[in-house]
């Protein structure tokens, strides 16, 4: 169900922590860096301790609870990822415009914190403002643009010649796909040292993009196919927390390549 900003949510958050259990909480590299600052850790150590699936979502303990959940609630409340701020809402872009929606059937809070539904309803716009979603949304949208840019660069590098290899990588779970990256690439992807840009998510992602594209130029003298595979893998990993399906990225590469073939035929 799509929601307008003026719509009412039939709840108010009671901070019962219901959404901190058995949920997949996606994180971008900017969100890992923000958590790292809050926890006074390096981004790499924060990634290793608090994320899984190749640094694309938060880790959980054996009971399925987010490891950042404490006895008194979220231990990183001011630095929590966008998904935590949006819950119970989902968000997607439609031609660049954000659309908020309620995923699944029924109200997502009802089974987790039933008392939330007995509180006065909240307007969607007020909810989003109080949750402080803007920086996380800026980072997500900037990473979305970066994924598109990286896929265009993969085409430029002749990615069509290795489309089969990229397709195999797309079929892997994110953690296994990340493990195919050479270690320096994994570090650059998930834990870039950009602490000076943390408070400006767009600048952070732009600087991250420059590092990634600079590494391609510096690291693959003449081996365009290898560069295309690495960049496609990076793009798929960055797309994972944004909900960009890896196979959709491969389909995009295939369509772009066939369009180029037609244009040059």
**Does 55 engage in binding with ligand SF4 (CB under 6 A)?**
no
- From 10-18, 96-104, 149-157, 198-206, give the range in contact with ligand SF4 by CB under 6 A: 10-18
Separation in Å, CA 242 to CA 2, 103, 114, 186, 235? 18, 15, 28, 18, 11
Cβ neighbours, 10 Å, residue 149: 15
Chosen residue from 8, 38, 44, 69 binding ligand SF4 by CB under 6 A: 69
Sequence-ordered list of residues with C-beta below 8 angstroms from that of 174, at least 6 positions apart, any chain: 53, 54, 56, 236, 237, 240
Chosen residue from 10, 17, 98, 149 binding ligand SF4 by CB under 6 A: 17
Q: CB-wise, 3 or 155, nearer to ligand SF4?
A: 3
- From 107-115, 134-142, 147-155, 242-250, give the range in contact with ligand SF4 by CB under 6 A: 107-115
Q: Supply the minimum distance, in Å, between the C-beta of residue 18 and ligand SF4.
A: 3
Sequence-ordered list of residues with C-beta below 8 angstroms from that of 158, at least 6 positions apart, any chain: 224, 225, 228
**Does 14 engage in binding with ligand SF4 (CB under 6 A)?**
yes
Percent helix, percent strand, percent coil in the chain, to nearest 5 = 60, 10, 30
- From 109-117, 121-129, 143-151, 210-218, give the range in contact with ligand SF4 by CB under 6 A: 109-117
| The two three-digit tokens of residue 110, written as one number | 């009802």
Chosen residue from 32, 36, 109, 238 binding ligand SF4 by CB under 6 A: 109
Total interface residues for ligand SF4 by CB under 6 A: 23
């Amino acid at each position: 169900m799509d929601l307008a900003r003026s719509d009412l949510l039939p709840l108010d958050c009671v901070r019962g922590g219901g959404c901190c259990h058995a949920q997949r909480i996606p994180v971008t590299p900017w969100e890992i860096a923000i958590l790292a600052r809050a926890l006074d850790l390096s981004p790499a150590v924060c990634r290793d301790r608090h994320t899984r699936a190749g640094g694309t979502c938060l880790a959980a303990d054996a009971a399925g609870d987010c490891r950042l959940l404490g006895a008194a609630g979220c231990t990183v409340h001011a630095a929590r990822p966008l998904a935590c701020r949006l819950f119970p809402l989902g968000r997607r872009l439609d031609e660049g415009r954000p659309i908020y929606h309620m995923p699944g059937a029924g109200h997502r809070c009802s089974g987790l914190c039933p008392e939330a539904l007995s509180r006065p309803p909240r307007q969607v716009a007020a909810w989003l403002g109080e949750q402080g979603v803007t920086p996380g949304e800026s980072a997500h949208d900037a990473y979305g643009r970066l994924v598109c840019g990286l896929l265009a660069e993969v085409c430029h590098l002749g990615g069509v010649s290795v489309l089969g290899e990229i397709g195999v990588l797309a079929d892997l779970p994110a953690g296994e796909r990340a493990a195919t990256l050479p270690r320096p690439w994994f570090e650059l992807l998930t834990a870039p040292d950009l602490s000076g840009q943390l408070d400006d998510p767009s600048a952070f992602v732009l600087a991250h993009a420059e590092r990634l594209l600079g590494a391609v130029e510096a690291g693959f003298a003449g081996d365009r196919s290898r560069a295309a595979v690495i960049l496609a893998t990076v793009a798929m990993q960055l797309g994972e927390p944004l909900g960009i399906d890896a196979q959709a990225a491969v389909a995009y590469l295939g369509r772009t390549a066939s369009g180029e073939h037609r244009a040059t035929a």
